[in-house]
Amino acid sequence: MSALLETRHLSRSFGGLKAVEDVDFGLAAGEVRAVIGPNGAGKTTFVSLISGRLAPSSGTVVFAGEDVTALPAFRRVQRGIAYTFQITSIYGNLTAEENVALAAHQPGARANHAILDRVGLGARAGQRAGTLSYGHQRLLEVAMGLALRPKLLILDEPTQGLSDAEIEGFIGLVREVARDATVLLIEHNMPVVMELAHRITVLDRGRILAEGSPAEIRANAAVQSAYLGTG
């Protein structure tokens, strides 16, 4: 598999706090990668640097062979990077279908309804997004990301607020999406991570602590001590 995304010496500081520090990271096309770590490890800052929502203090971001470090978020979206935010970013006064249409910048109702069907919201296409449950709002956000037809879909805590049944549906959805796109997943639900991820990157205090397969990460003593709480 060829590299779709690379970061080189990527860093971001907020005053004296080094939220992300000297991160070299590679993501292969077609991969499902999970990024895990304790609260404050720098996970959301890291993916915000990849998506262009934040500018790095230093380092580079290369996507599909192009240095995109200086590009704003909307230009990265045009190149195929879609990021669903940790805090829902839907338009509450619009219907679910209208939210998807707005994300895709096209009115094609049939296509938009098909995307809602994929995430399990087809029956709620005409419902105002602000009246959806929190879990359904998260799924709508995923639908909005899919509407962009991304090469890379970044999902930030997507199972937060979902029921067990919805989480099972989400796992199936990610597997389906991964046939056509690369998935980068920030997730605290470790059973979901272990079931979905081809590889796992562990961040701790803004740096990469470990990388490996789910089995390798589960057996890593440093990870157990810093994050899994079994050290």
Residue 49 inside a domain? The answer is yes
Residue 183 inside a domain? The answer is yes
Q: Over the chain, what is the mean pLDDT?
A: 89
Per-residue model confidence (pLDDT) at position 103? 85
Per-residue model confidence (pLDDT) at position 225? 78
Radius of gyration of the chain (CA): 17
Per-residue model confidence (pLDDT) at position 148? 86
Residue 21 inside a domain? The answer is yes
pLDDT band at residue 231 under the 50/70/90 scheme: very low
Q: Domain range spanning residue 215?
A: 3-80+150-228
pLDDT in tens, 168-178: 988 998 998 89
pTM for this structure?
0.88
* Nearest by Cα to 116 from 86, 105, 129: 129
Q: Quote the CA–CA distance of 115 and 106 in Å, as a whole number.
A: 13
Structurally, the chain folds into a number of domains equal to 1
* Nearest by Cα to 8 from 29, 32, 24: 24
CATH number, domain of 46, equals 3.40.50.300
Residue 7 inside a domain? The answer is yes
- Statement: residue 61 has pLDDT above 70: yes
Half-sphere exposure of residue 188: CA atoms within 13 angstroms, side-chain side: 10
pLDDT in tens, 11-30: 999 988 999 999 999 999 99
Mean pLDDT lowest among 58-62, 77-81, 109-113: 109-113
Residue 223 inside a domain? The answer is yes
Residue 105 inside a domain? The answer is no
Strands of the 17-28 sheet, one edge to the other: 17-28, 3-14, 58-63, 66-67
Percent share of the chain, pLDDT over 90: 62
